[in-house]
Chain A
Amino acid sequence: MSDTLNLREKIKGYKVLFVDDEEEIRKGTGLFLSKFFDDVIICTNGEEGLETFKNTQEDPNNKNFEVIITDIKMPKMDGISMVREIKDITKDIFVVFITASRGSEKFQDDLSDIYIKKPLAYDDIILIMKQISELK
């Protein structure tokens, strides 16, 4: 069995919230994430992501999100604001920021576990997957 398959086995149980405002990105990235994770919830902006997170948190029947992968620059609510709100609710969450490569955004070390640059490189994604696999 290949490493990748092993990795998927380790991480497929994690519940993932993916937030991006761009449809094409959502489509491609969402498809990719769903190959590794069984439960991927996709939101279009920070506000929607926060709402979804809160709803999940409050619903006892629903499993809590363990990983948040989010774009930073988004309409209505950017990724950083969303994560800050979420962290207020719980610290027990793995956050991945996808950044536009301009470096205009400040790294929020206290908020995120990892930053990844657009466009997403396969090896970088695998590296993130590996970090997630080591969470437990």
Chain B
Amino acid sequence: MKLKYKISLIMTLAGIFLLTTVSYLYSNYSYNNVISSEKTKLSEKAIDSAYLIELELGKKLSIVKTIGTSPLLQNTLTKSNSKYEALNKTQQKDKIEQLNNRWIQAKNAEDPFIKPYLNNPLALYLKSQQKILPGVYGEIFITNTYGVMIATTGKLSTLAHSHKYWWKEAFNNGKGKTFFDDRGFDKSVKGYVIGVTIPIKKDNKIIGILKANVNIAESLSNVIKHYSELNHGDLKIVRTKGLVVLESHKPPLSTKVDKKLLRPLESMKVDSILLDNDIVAYAPVLLTSNSNGICFGSKHSKEDHIKGNQDEAWHIVIRYSKDEAMASCKELNRIIIYVGVIVTLLLLFISLLIGMWISSPINKLSKIAYRIGEGEHNLKADENGNDEISMLSKSFNTMLTELNNSTISIDKLKKEVERRKEVERNLKAQENILISQSRQAAMGEIISMIAHQWRQPLSVIAMGANNIMADIELDMIDNTTLQNNAKEILNYTKELSKTIDDFKNFFKQTEETEIVSPKDIINEAFDIIGKTLEDSNIDIITHFHSDKKIKIYSSELKQVIVNIINNAKEALICKDIKNKKIEVSIKDNNNNIYIDICDNAGGVPSDIMDKIFNPYFSTKYEKSGTGLGLYMSKTIIEKHLNGIIEVENSKYGACFKIKLPCEVR
């Protein structure tokens, strides 16, 4: 993968990671925030609504209380009570029973017995009060302190009420208290009716009980309506045991809340919880919690009072969907994600640019490295800038320079090696030329040798011919003598021919090695130089202790031996040595052949000892010397025949010692 893609991939991944983290953290944060603030808000709303309901209930109570303060009501009650006060308990009971029975027997409101209760001044007063808020108040009626009804706005089922629970609650054994009778849904008024029951007191003594049935359906639904108009969520008025008193769009007391809410409701606290996918806030309506001397509830369920209160309080329960609470927050989240995606794409593009920007010098460098690899050694990397890549370029260039230098030096080395090889080849060729040159240089001596060699046979031949000539001229010719002379001439011409062959062989360049005995080579050398030595009165002494054959370029070795012996001869003659001697010996040892050639000419002067093998070095003794003889001898022995040649002085003269391997490689 190219570097720029790597960089952009890394940056993109980093961007996505960052984005995901941020949006996750944000949504988490906003979720918690939104939920908790929503919970608080809903709790507060629940309290507000509970308070509104309290206000409604309180308003109803205060109206009823106002009615109870009427002097007409007080006076009427006082009169009615006084009728019963004079009687004993039994009489009271009988009278009340009698009246009650009479009341129950009366079928309608036009009954003369009932009519006075509905039309007396107090009843009229109550009716007038009833009319002030039409549809709100149901029956309003008053009993005296004995439970006997004395005035009512409508026909009631009974006249005696002291046995009824609401009456007993309000009477409270003579102490008296306000009692809200949560009777439930009243079919007759198609409303939710609360019986507000208060004791009427005079001189701190209960003189009667006033009860007003109040339809609070509208008030309650107003609270709900008011809430839903201004707030979100679903507000319900609920009894402690879960029965819904009122909610939107449903009949009262027709549903129950989730069982999970019962325990929180029983705690009578203000709070909010998460329930399923909803936020649920709840708050008790304090007026309904049986405190402050106000009693709330009902113990009975009658046909017209569906599902009566069982000592329960009322609660405000607001239920709000979490999703809805989060909706605005989610919208924000979505925006964040959109923005994030755009930012990521932007990041991808930017990181691609950055990747190209970062990788372009590296690319350049790598291209240059590739081209250098292809052989363009004179390229340089761009060193501009002071970042790591330009540092890399600098070190790359340094490396390149060194590489170039070393390449150059290798090239130089190769050239040098080539040059030396060439020199060596030239040297070898030159040596070969020198060898043949030295042989040619020795030509003068050789001719002299030939002259020596031929002198005797030529003389003999000449004398043979002379004798024939003489015989002819002296008339002494006879066939036998003639034949003998001719034979002698022929014999000696053969000798001449042999000499020619010897020298021809000497000059012949042998290309191949031959297997020969060193003894034979030395004898052949003597064939060439022997007569010269003989003519110079030089004795030859040979000690041939080895007959081992060696593989060698024989003519070259012969040349060396002739050369050394000739040098010895020259020295012997020039120094005018008496009893001139040359000794030649052959030995072998460990696959080596040792040839020693010694003379008695006094030896090589020590000052020239180490120069005699140098080229063009010549002594005064060598009249016809070229100065090449010994140099060539050394060259031949050491370079061509892989041997060693040394010179040392013996007691009598110079000793040349040649060591040769039995086989030339």
**A and B: real partners?**
yes
How many pairs of residues, A versus B, come closer than 8 Å at their CB atoms?
Answer: 68
Give the residues in chain B near A35, CB-CB below 8 Å.
467, 470-471, 474, 476
Q: Give the complex CA separation of A39 and B416 in angstroms.
A: 83
Question: Is A106 part of the contact surface with B, judged by Cβ < 8 Å?
Answer: no
Determine whether A24 belongs to the interface, using a CB cutoff of 8 Å to chain B. Answer: yes
Q: Which residue of B lies closest to A28 (CB)?
A: B463
Which of the 9-residue segments A2-10, A46-54, A55-63, A79-87 touches chain B? A2-10
Roughly how many angstroms separate A102 CA and B455 CA in the complex, as a whole number? Answer: 10
Contacts of A75 in B (CB 8 A): 537
A22 to B467, CA, bound (A): 17
The answer to whether B470 touches A36 (Cβ under 8 A) is: yes
Q: In the complex, which range does the number of interface residues on chain B fall in? A: 20 to 34
How far is the CB of B281 from the nearest CB of chain A, in Å?
155
Q: B460: CB under 8 A from chain A?
A: yes
CA distance A96 to B113 in the complex (A): 225
Chain B 457-476 near chain A by CB (<8 Å), digits 1 or 0: 01111111111011101111
| A25 lies within 8 A of chain B by Cβ | yes
- The closest CB in chain B to the CB of A120 belongs to B462
Report the bound CA distance from A100 to B466 in whole Å.
Answer: 18
- Is the CB of B478 closer than 8 A to any CB of chain A? no
Q: For the complex, give the distance between the alpha carbons of A100 and B454 in Å.
A: 11
Q: How far is the CA of A101 from the CA of B162 in the complex (A)?
A: 198
**Closest B residue by C-beta to A123:** B469
A8 to B470, CA, bound (A): 10
Q: Is A135 an interface residue (CB 8 A)?
A: no
Residues of B near A125 (CB, < 8 A) are 466
Q: Which of B458, B462, B488, B537 has the most CB of A within 10 A?
A: B462
**Given contacts A119-B463, A122-B466, A101 and B455 within 8 Å (CB-CB):** yes
Residues of A within 8 A of B537 (CB): 75
**A35-B471, A36-B470 known; A28-B456 Cβ under 8 A:** no
Query: CB of B535 within 8 A of chain A?
Result: yes
Contact, CB under 8 Å: A5 / B463: no
Across the interface, A8 reaches (CB within 8 A) one of B461, B465, B466, B474, namely B474
CB-nearest residue of chain B relative to A125? Answer: B466
| Inter-chain contact B473/A5, CB cutoff 8 Å | yes
A15 at the binding interface (Cβ < 8 Å)? no
The residues of B that contact A122 with a CB separation of less than 8 Å are: 465-466, 469-470
Interface status of B451 (Cβ within 8 A of chain A): yes
Q: In the complex the two chains form, what is the Cα distance from A48 to B475 in whole Å? A: 34
Q: Is B448 an interface residue (CB 8 A)?
A: yes
- Min CB distance, A1 to chain B, in Å? 10
Taking the closest CB of chain B, its distance from the CB of A6, in whole angstroms, is 11
Taking a contact as CB atoms under 8 Å apart, the answer to whether A25 and B470 are in contact is no
The reply to whether B451 and A25 form a contact with Cβ atoms under 8 Å apart is no
A107: Cβ under 8 A from any B Cβ = no
A51 to chain B, nearest CB (A): 21
Is the beta-carbon distance between B476 and A25 smaller than 8 angstroms?
Answer: no
CB proximity of B225 to chain A, nearest CB, Å: 166
Whether A25 contacts B465 in the complex (CB less than 8 A), given A5-B475, A102-B448, comes out as: no
Closest partner residue, chain A, to B491 (CB atom): A24
- Is B463 in contact with A29, judged by CB distance below 8 angstroms? yes
Q: Which of B461, B467, B470, B476 has the most CB of A within 10 A?
A: B470
A17→B537 CA distance, assembly (Å): 24
Q: Which parts of B484-502 form the interface with A (CB within 8 Å)?
A: 488
**In whole Å, how far is A33's beta carbon from the nearest beta carbon of chain B?**
10
> Residue among B448, B461, B466, B469 with the most chain A CB within 10 A?
B466
In the complex, A130 has a CB within 8 A of chain B: no
**Bound form: Cα–Cα A118–B476 in Å:** 25
Q: A25-B456, A25-B460, A118-B459 are in contact. Are A32 and B451 (CB under 8 A)?
A: no
A5 partner residues in chain B, CB cutoff 8 A: 473-475
Q: Give CA–CA (A120, B315) in the complex, Å.
A: 176
Kindly provide the distance from the CB of A24 to the nearest chain B CB, expressed in whole angstroms. Answer: 5
Instruction: Determine if B459 and A119 form an interchain contact, defined as CB atoms under 8 angstroms apart.
Output: yes
User: Contact between B535 and A73 (Cβ–Cβ < 8 Å)?
Assistant: yes
Q: How far is the CB of A109 from chain B (nearest CB, A)?
A: 24
Q: How far is the CA of A28 from the CA of B486 in the complex (A)?
A: 12
What's the least CB distance linking B198 to chain A, in Å?
Answer: 187
Complex: how many Å from CA A29 to CA B448?
Answer: 24
- Complex Cα gap A36–B448 (Å): 34
Chain A residues with Cβ below 8 Å from B464 are: 28
Q: How far is the CB of B498 from chain A (nearest CB, A)?
A: 15
- Give chain A interface residues in 95-129, CB to chain B under 8 Å: 100-102, 118-122, 125
Q: Closest approach, in angstroms, between the C-beta of A23 and any C-beta of chain B?
A: 10
Q: Which of the listed residues A4, A28, A35 has the most CB atoms from chain B within 10 Å of its own CB? A: A28
A24 to B460, Cβ gap below 8 A?
yes
Using a CB–CB cutoff of 8 Å, the interface residues on chain B facing chain A are 448, 451, 455-456, 458-467, 469-471, 473-476, 488, 535, 537
Task: Please name the 7 residue pairs, one residue from A and one from B, whose CB atoms are nearest each other, closest first.
Answer: A28-B463, A119-B462, A4-B473, A119-B459, A119-B458, A24-B460, A122-B469
Can you list 14 residue pairs at the A/B interface with Cβ under 8 Å?
A: A2-B475, A4-B473, A5-B473, A8-B474, A22-B459, A28-B467, A28-B488, A31-B467, A101-B451, A118-B455, A119-B455, A119-B461, A120-B466, A122-B469
Known pairs A24-B456, A119-B463; list 6 more (Cβ under 8 Å): A4-B474, A28-B464, A28-B467, A29-B459, A29-B463, A101-B451
